[in-house]
Amino acid sequence: MNEQQYEKQLNINTSGFQYGFPKLAQYHRYEPTPYSGLDQLFEHYILPENACLVDIGCGKGRVPIYVHDQFQIPVVGIEMDQKFFVEAEHNCEQYLKKNKKNGASIQFINQLAETYKIADKDNVFFFFNPFSIHVFRQVMNHILDSLERKKRVIDIILYYPAPEYMLYLQQELALNCLVEVKLADEKNENERIIVFRIS
């Protein structure tokens, strides 16, 4: 399916880009994750047991709603921008009107990613290059702290991974790549999806 077909099926509107600059310099502009990339990711990657996906910098809610629809698992979207958060909430309402509730929770939270308290159930974290390495480190520290509290398998999904993110995860945290998806029809080597697993 193409972008418009997915939007129609899910009964949401998440297209468009952010013009101008985000309010905080450490954060990057909003750009929706292509549905074709999500399809390719889940052709090669299997979610861990009892998965709960957290989309860090979820924008208008595309990724959490897509995952909720495809896999019937709990999802959380974290978004710092009030306007995008309101749109994500609206998209969630529209999605649930057309698509029967599957029992799994879907939640959007309006706050900075680095202030989000990682829940014990959170075990899959999706990042589409939402912010600087400085903020990414803070978020990763919270994720690692949560592991001390509750042992579980945790997956880190990087869509179009920034080189600094890769360096940090591979060299400083010594994590190994679980899955690498080279996106079809993309020429830039950064246009790929990498999944790291912490177990």
**Dist. CA 56–CA 116, nearest whole Å:** 10
Q: What is the pLDDT of residues 17-67, one digit of tens each?
A: 544 445 555 665 677 899 999 999 999 999 999 999 999 999 999 999 999
pLDDT value of position 3 = 87
Q: Provide φ and ψ at 25, rounded to 5°.
A: -60, -30
- Beta-carbon neighbour count of residue 110 at 10 Å? 15
pLDDT for residue 150 is more than 80: yes
pLDDT range class, residue 164, cuts 50, 70, 90: very high
Q: DSSP string of 60-77?
A: TTHHHHHHHHHH---EEE
103 or 115, which is more confident? 115
* Alpha carbon distance 71, 122 (integer Å): 15
Distance CA 56, CA 16 (A): 18
State yes or no: pLDDT of 186 exceeds 90: no
| Whether residue 158 has pLDDT greater than 50 | yes
Q: What is the pLDDT of residue 20?
A: 46
**pLDDT at residue 178 greater than cutoff 70:** yes
Q: Nearest 5 degrees, angle CA 159-CA 162-CA 167?
A: 120
User: Please, which pLDDT band fits residue 99 given cuts at 50, 70 and 90?
Assistant: confident
Q: What is the pLDDT of residue 27?
A: 62
Share of the chain above pLDDT 70, in %: 90
Residue % of the chain over a pLDDT of 90: 78
- The token pair at 137 is 């480190």
**Between 25 and 119, whose confidence is greater?**
119
